[in-house]
Amino acid sequence: MSVTISLPTPLQRYAGGEPELSVEATTVGGALQALVTSTPALAPHLLDAKGNVRSYVNIYLGDEDTRYLQGNDTPVSEGDRLEIVPSIAGG
């Protein structure tokens, strides 16, 4: 399945300035693995040493946070868009 992954501003520089990339995958986890395989510079910013999505990164499929779906096992369909949304906090 061809899936589009939208990158937030801070991560675009690791993808040649591209705001979105397309990958082939059948699950959210597969899409993220395909993303870091094609664009290795993104890996440390998205995944920990065990390959899990870092806590300060949120992955949305449509309007749904994939943490509350099936996580990396969430299936994706042709034409789906995954949004990488950074956690923003401070004070």
Give residues in contact with other proteins (CB under 8 A). 6, 8-10, 13, 19, 56, 58, 60, 63, 65, 83, 85-91
> Would you call 28 exposed, middle or buried from its count of C-beta atoms within 10 A (0-12, 13-18, 19+)?
buried
CA angle 70, 71, 75 (to 5 degrees): 60
Using the minimum distance from each CB to other proteins, give the nearer residue, 63 or 78.
63
Smallest gap, in angstroms, from Cβ of residue 6 to other proteins?
A: 7
Minimum distance between the CB of residue 16 and other proteins, rounded to whole angstroms?
15
Q: Which is nearer to other proteins, 10 or 26 (CB)?
A: 10
Q: How far is the CB of 69 from other proteins (least distance, A)?
A: 14
Residue 18: burial class (beta carbons within 10 Å; 0-12, 13-18, 19+)? middle
